[in-house]
Structure 1
């Protein structure tokens, strides 16, 4: 069953430019993983420092493998340096999809 991960993390707006290379590295490594169908971050234009997270995984096994990757460990190691906080992510199990 396909999983969508959606939610937010927050970083001080003044840290985002320095944090951006780490976000790009995480995106590239995650998108290259087996079972990753989509992986994206977006800054909320109405709330500076709020980063919206959107991921699509083939199944729970692919997501579980993602959590064990070296780039995930490295990604999380950068959070304190850049003031990342307020992580609120949710998993949604998707049985089907259709275009709107």
Structure 2
């Protein structure tokens, strides 16, 4: 399993527009082969922060979906980014329900 997680920052006044522009990507990712979860969401405490969380079956699934990355408009809006990919060897459930 692979997890991609972290955050990006944008101007606080641009965050809602940025997130609206990500809806199609989220829908496409969730329908992609090997995608277990995919979320791009507003941070509850920081008005310029957008949290990224992706969970994939394999590195191949991530690479197949990733393609060219964010659009030019989205890339231009990003002030900073801290996103990493993690290889996961195991898991345990913390919540059943």
TM-score normalised by the shorter chain: which range applies? 0.7 to 0.9
Moved over 4 A (4+): none
Q: Deviations over 1:14-60 (max 9, x none)?
A: 11222232111111111111111100012111111101100001101
Is residue 76 from structure 1 mapped to residue 75 from structure 2 by the alignment? no
Say which structure is richer in helix.
Answer: 1
Q: What is the root-mean-square deviation in Å for CA atoms of aligned residues?
A: 1.6
SS of the equivalent of 1:47 reads coil
Long gaps (5+) in structure 1: none
C-alpha separation between the residues in 2 aligned to 1:17 and 1:60? Answer: 30
C-alpha separation between the residues in 1 aligned to 2:93 and 2:75? Answer: 40
Matches within 5 A, 1:45-60: 45-60=44-59
SS of the equivalent of 2:71 reads helix
C-alpha separation between the residues in 2 aligned to 1:79 and 1:44? Answer: 17
C-alpha separation between the residues in 1 aligned to 2:5 and 2:39? Answer: 10
